[in-house]
Structures are given as structure tokens and as C-alpha cells.
Structure 1
Amino acid sequence: MGTQNAHLLIVDDDDRIRQLLKRFLMSKNYGVSTAKDAAEARELIDAIDFDLLIFDIMMPGEDGISLTKFVRNERNTPILLLTARGEANDRIEGLSAGADDYLPKPFEPEELALRIANILRRVKPAPVQTAMTFGDTTYDLTRDELKREGIIIRLTETEKSLMRELATRSGAVVTREELARKAGVAADRSIDVQVARLRRKLEPNSAEPMYLQTIRGQGYRLAPDI
């Protein structure tokens, strides 16, 4: 899901503000639900899996801080607090309760949209690349399959563990200790031997590796073509 297809919940006792924000955020291609108080918000939160919650702090009855604490005890849905109270202590209280961001009133709607987009980008998991190519060799992470020109190259269970860990973190350096732990081998020459065996199956020339790279003093990195 793209950030601008996310479903938001706005909780504010001011009907005019709720409707203004709803229209504005819907114009940004968000799905938007609203609630006039914490009680109505609790019912919606129990029924719907929202992508982000926007709470006004100063509401009659249960306030936004209390509602934030309630949500945090139940789930990790990101929360943005809106309030006319902009003092440092109030911001600290809101963030300590579990809010992800804090926007004092009055504010520009465009700033609200930017803060929402930033929060959603932070919490959205990065996509994991599942199909990779290494010259004439391909690796399918979902199947644990390494193929050269369509023919499956047999991997041992240790080699599968190494390849899976490197592929999941493609482009990043994985330490020898991390790889050894995942593969269930000692973090000494044993892991180097296993990596060398995997290289012979992956690389066109394992003596001059292009794809399974050694990062001196750090570990190994997988660098696929795609």
C-alpha cells in the first residue's frame, strides 16, 4: 500500500475541524474516518485496522493523551497528536504516552499532510527483493532456489541459510558472526569455508567474486545485478 492510500482516523470534538481535515486529506487520496470523541474512536479502532490515528488532545471526557495510552497498550498504530497547547511539557507528555509526532494548532494543512506522509514512510516496512539475478544465475528467495540458465543448483541447508540471510539484507554488510549464527556454524574459519562453497555455486569466477563480496574487517555483502 502506498502512503497516500492509507486509512486515517481523525478524532476531534470540533465538527468543523473534523470535516475540513477530512475533505483536505481525502483530496490527498487518503481514506479518512472521523470520530467526535474518545468513546467513538475506541469503537472504530476495535473494528478497523487504521494506518494512522490523529487525536486532538483537548477533548471533553477522555482526552487525547489517555486515548493514546489506551491504543499503545493494544497496538503499534502510529499516532499524531493535534492540540492548541504547544508548551514543551505538553509535547513531552504526548510523546511519552506513545505518540509518533505532535502538531500544535493552528497549523497549515499542508504541514499536517507532510507529517502524515513522513510517519507512514517511517513505519512502512521496506520491500524485500525476492528475485535476484547474478549474471546467468538467478535466486528466488521465496523458494530458496538458485538456478543457472533454468537448471536448479543444489544448495546444502547451510548454504540455503547463508543465501537467505544475505538476500534478505541485499546490499547491506552482514557480519561473519551474524551469518555464522544464522547458519549454525562457528564464527571462525568454518563460516569462511561455507561462504567459499556458496561462492563457487554463485559466481562465474569464485576467485574474483563479483556478487558475494568480502568487506574487509566487517563481513560479507550480496550485490546482485537486479
Structure 2
Amino acid sequence: MTDSAAHLLVVDDDSRLRALLQRFLAEQGFRVTVAGDAAAARQALGAMEYDLMVLDVMMPGETGLELTESLRRTGQDVPILMLTAAGAPDDRIAGFEHGADDYLAKPFDPRELALRIRTILKRAAPPASAPLPPVQLGLRWFDAERGELRGPEGVTRLTGGEAALLVALARRGGEVLSREEIAAAMGTPEAGERAVDVTVTRLRRKIEPDPREPRFLHTVRHKGYVLRPGA
């Protein structure tokens, strides 16, 4: 998929900002659909598939955080870039905890928004380099190209951030990666160490038999994380 072919869903209750984003992103070569609230976003997501959703956090009724959490809980893996007027570190971490792939504080430069969108799309695309063979994690297998975990219970979809983190660790299996290296590999170096920790926690819930006693994704104190695949 090329950037110009990507179809974006922009969700914001501010009609002026919504119109500005629709015009700017269309000028950047994206196809753009807009929605004014979570209910309209759900309707749009039910009608077709989107390559990425740009989602405002503070909306009347169901918030962007609540919508993201609900979508992830029901298996929707569309990449989500959150927009919010609250740009404190804790607010950014909340976005990642609820399943967002990236987070941009208002006010923002539209050019940065376009750059972040392209970064997420590139990260979500099948790798152009040599494909990563399936990675065994106990009774599950990770398919890097599809971003899926397959196991006895069926297919478990991963968010773009979770899949990118697992790919980064799997490509250097048995080697300790620092949080900075992992953030760079995920395409979100500005997100910081806490965002990496949050994504690790979410991923462990999906790959570990007991996330409290990890078998595969280990913490190495003061150094980072290491993946040790196996049966």
C-alpha cells in the first residue's frame, strides 16, 4: 500500500478542525472520510475498512480513549493516532494504555501529523526486507507479515505498536534491546521509555500463559527487554 492509496478516518467533534484536516490530508494524497463523534466513527468502521484513524480524545459522549479501548477489546486493529489538547506525559501514556499507536498534542503542525501518519502506515505495511519466519511462543506462533498470533484459541490480532515491538525483539531474539532501541524500531522514539513499558505489558497479556511470570518476553533490569522464543 502506498501513502496515496491510504484511506483515513478523521474523527473530531470540532467541525472547523475536521474540515481543515480533511482538506490538508487530501492535499497530501490521502483519501479522507470524516466523522463528528464516536457513534459516527463506529458507523463508518462498520461500512468499510480504513488504513488509519485520526481520533480526537475529548469528545462529547464516548471519548476517544473509550472508543479505542472498545475497538481493541473487540479485535479491531486499525492503527489509531490520537489527537488531544492534553499533552502531558501521563496523558500520552493513557493513550498507549488504551491501545493507540501514536499520540499528538494540540496545537500541532499539520506537516508533523502527515509525517506521523506515514510513519505508522510504513510500520503497519508488510516488511520489504527479508521476511521474519514464524516465531514460536509456546502454543502460539507469531506471523510478522500479518501481525497475528495464531494458537489453539484461534487468531489474536495485535495493534501496530505491539506487532512492531514483537518484530523488533524477534529479529534479535536472545539479545537484550534497550527501551530507546525498541522505541526507535517501533517508529515512536519521542514516546519515551514508559510507552515502551506499556506496550510490553499489553503484549505480555497476549503472548504469555501468565503475564506475571513471563516465559518469553523478559525484563533485564537496567538494560531493557529480551525475547526468548520457544516451545
Normalised-by-shorter TM-score class: 0.5 to 0.7
- Please give the per-residue CA displacement for 1:141-174, whole angstroms capped at 9, x wherever unaligned: xxxxxxxxxxxxxxxxxxxxxxxxxxxxxxxx9x
Q: Residue 111 of structure 2 corresponds to which residue in structure 1?
A: 110
Deviation at 1:79, TM superposition (A): 0.3
Q: Which has the larger radius of gyration?
A: 1
* SS at 2:21 equivalent: helix
Aligned length: 133
Equivalent residues in 2 for 1:180-195, closer than 5 Å: none
Name the residue aligned to 1:6: 6
Is the partner of 1:80 in helix, strand or coil?
strand
Maintained 8 Å contact 2:3/2:29: no
Equivalent position SS for 1:13? coil
Q: Could you tell which deviates more after superposition, 43-52 or 71-80?
A: 71-80
Match of 2:92 in 1: 91
Aligned mates of 1:90, 1:103 — CA distance in 2:
10
Offset of 1:89 from its aligned partner?
A: 1.2
**RMSD across aligned C-alpha pairs, in angstroms?**
2.1
Q: How far apart in 1 are the matches of 2:92 and 2:129? A: 35
| Greater relative CO, 1 or 2 (CA 8 Å, sep 6+) | 2
Consecutive unaligned residues in structure 2, runs of 5 or more: 131-170, 174-231
The answer for unaligned runs of 5 or more in structure 1 is 130-172, 176-226
Where does 1:111-190 land on structure 2 (aligned, <5 Å)?
111-127=112-128
C-alpha deviation, 1:104, in angstroms: 0.1
Cα distance in 1 for residues equivalent to 2:125 and 2:113: 18
**Alpha-carbon deviations, 1:155-210, whole Å to 9, x = none?**
xxxxxxxxxxxxxxxxxx9x9xxxxxxxxxxxxxxxxxxxxxxxxxxxxxxxxxxx
Q: Does structure 2 retain, via aligned residues, the 8 Å contact 1:4–1:117?
A: no
One-letter code aligned to 2:40 = E
Structure 1 residue 3, shift from structure 2 partner? 2.0
Q: Which residue of 2 aligns with 1:55?
A: 55
Scaled by the length of structure 2, what TM-score is found? 0.55
